[in-house]
Structure 1
Amino acid sequence: MKKISGSTLSRRQFLASTVVSISFASTPDALARSFSGQLPWSPFAADPPTPARPGPWLFFTHDEAQTIEAIVDRLIPGDDLSVGGKAAGCAVFIDRQLAGFFGSSERLYMKGPFVQGLPQQGLQSPILPSERYRAGIATLDDYCSKTFSGRTFPALAPKEQDEVLQGLEKGSIDLGDADAKTFFELVLQNTMEGFFADPIYGGNKDMASWKMIGFPGARYDYRDFVNKHNQRYPLPPVSIMGRDDWGGKG
């Protein structure tokens, strides 16, 4: 056993502390903690998801939000199986994502060169998602206003909205530098994410999509049901945050 600063350390702890001392010698706090018998990190330390709280838009302006709400409601229209994209909070999900690191691509490598890659490589572009949304919505509403006698996308009839979205999907509508097809694919992808993601991120309100498909959510254990194929899961889903009617068991 090795005694240091009044603390009795095992050989294993001493060696670990020594390695940490060398690796983090430039960090006073880490150095101090290494000789106290503690490693310079906490077990299970990680950034937990931050719940998306109800409230005003964080990224979208009022007019932009109306356009996105109208789009997500046509991409996922409500029916007898589930609520539509707007009621499910898909626009809120997108707004919170754009206001965070997704919108600024701060966790992605964003230095060139940018070239046309293969489809499976994903989008190769210096344009940030926040920039693509802002430009896409503006040019879309401008296109609709010129095409439909001054009416922007939210004011169009459902059939007209579907025709516009189909034009974006095919790339037959010119949105200039905003790139209609790329804009549509991004909004569609984010809408699906908002519909099926955990409600902690602002979408999938009341776990509507999970209830529709019978997904158990973040339940601790459902091994009893894993091998019961083609049978509907009998228990209500649970979010990362739990349930309003759930007392911590399940």
Structure 2
Amino acid sequence: MSKKTLPGITRRQILTFSAASAVLGAAKAANAVSLKGTPTWSPFDSSPPPQIETDGWVFFNDAEAAALEAIVDRLIPADNLSIGGKEAGCAVFIDRQMVGFYGTYERLYMQGPFQPGTPEQGDQSPLVPQQRYRIGLAALEEYTQKNFKKSFKDLSGDQQDEVLSGLESGKIDLNASSFKNPIDSTLFFAIVLKNTMEGFFADPIYGGNRNMVSWKMLGFPGARYDYREYIGKHNQKLDLEPLSISGGDAWKVSKS
């Protein structure tokens, strides 16, 4: 049988028509409907962020919070580009995460066996984030009191940097038998660093990135769902005001 195409119709068009017909047929069979206009929806309908009704600390006590704020301010110090980690709300972000499912690793398998693994296998600790912070901050207090006769928050900036570098490298051993609250130093430093960065760049709805400071610094437009009017604007500086997931006036679709 001849496989000639119809005059004026290319093989690519025939394939396109066939694909479109298949999709339409499947949609009809499934009683599919097409949406017209802008569907109405609310952010986090199925997975809302923790609703915190207080401006205070919800997991950390005052001493823990003070130490954590000092840590995040050394990990992200203020400079000519942005405010520091404390003012940006990184410690608040971590505090809020501790009372959510992340704080207990609720969505992870945590029944063991817990055995030392290879670097490729990742974290093998039985400690959940709540325990890592509570134990780690207590061990840090023990260490600085023993070696500096002060709490971490009262050390000079250079001393704080020295301690944090020691935790990161493992040179400072918070797992020593002399500590009442032993914890692997590198494990403790790693989670604090990771969560601090998350708090600095996450949506402000979670407590950090106050006033969207990091997004403004980077020029990130935030949680905008409609970029249609900008698609053709290549290599142009748009200077879009960033938006949180919680919404804003710019979420409204113009009727043009």
- TM-score w.r.t. the length of structure 2 is 0.74
In the TM superposition, residue 116 of structure 1 has moved relative to its aligned partner by 2.7
Instruction: Say if 1:45 and 1:179 are closer, same or farther in 2 by CA, change over 3 A.
Output: same
Q: State the distance in 1 between where 2:109 and 2:135 align.
A: 22
The change in CA–CA distance for 1:143 and 1:96 in structure 2 (over 3 A counts) is same
- The match for 2:71 is 71
What do residues 23-73 of structure 1 show as CA deviations (whole Å, max 9, x unaligned)? xxxxxxxxxxxxxxxxxxxxx961233455551111100000000000000
Gaps of 5+ in 2: 1-28, 32-43, 176-181
Q: Which residue identity does 1:151 align to in structure 2?
A: K
C-alpha distance in 2, partners of 1:197/1:242?
15
Secondary structure in 2 matching 1:107: coil
State the alpha-carbon separation in 1 of the partners of residues 30 and 241 from structure 2.
47
- Tell me, in whole angstroms, the C-alpha distance in 2 between the residues paired with 1:141 and 1:114: 27
* Structure 1 partner of 2:208: 203
Q: 1:140 is matched with which residue?
A: 140
Q: 1:18-97 counterparts in 2 under 5 A?
A: 46-50=46-50, 52=52, 55-97=55-97
Q: Secondary structure at the match of 2:63?
A: helix
Q: CA RMSD in A?
A: 2.3
Q: Is the 8 A contact 1:216 1:233 kept in 2?
A: no
Q: Which residue number in structure 2 is paired with residue 175 of structure 1? A: 174
Gaps of 5+ in 1: 1-10, 14-43
- Please tell me whether the aligned partners of residues 169 and 186 of structure 2 are also in contact (alpha carbons under 8 angstroms): yes
Which of the pair has more CA radius of gyration? 2
Q: 1 CA distance for matches of 2:109 and 2:251?
A: 40
Distance between the aligned counterparts of 1:210 and 1:190, measured in 2? 17
* Aligned equivalents of 1:124, 1:161: Cα separation in 2: 28
CA distance in 1, matches of 2:194, 2:118: 18
Q: Residues 112 and 66 from structure 1, CA distance in 2 versus in 1: closer, same or farther, beyond 3 angstroms? A: same
Alignment-mate amino acid for residue 172 of structure 1? K
Residue type of the partner of 1:228? Answer: H
Q: From the superposition, tell whether residues 226 and 98 of structure 1 become closer, same or farther in structure 2 (CA, over 3 Å).
A: farther
Post-superposition offset of 1:226? 8.1
Question: Aligned residue for 1:191?
Answer: 196
Contact 1:94 1:194 in 2 (8 A): yes
2:106 maps to which residue? 106
In structure 2, what is the equivalent of residue 40 of structure 1? none
- 1:249 to 2:252 alignment: yes
1:103 aligns to what SS in structure 2? coil
Q: Which amino acid aligns with 1:163?
A: E
Residue of 228, 233, 241 corresponding to 2:234: 228
- Kindly indicate whether the alpha-carbon contact (under 8 Å) linking 1:52 and 1:200 is maintained by their aligned counterparts in 2: no
TM-score between the two structures when normalised by the length of structure 1 = 0.76
Which amino acid in the other structure matches residue 252 of structure 2? K
Structure 2 counterpart of 1:32: none
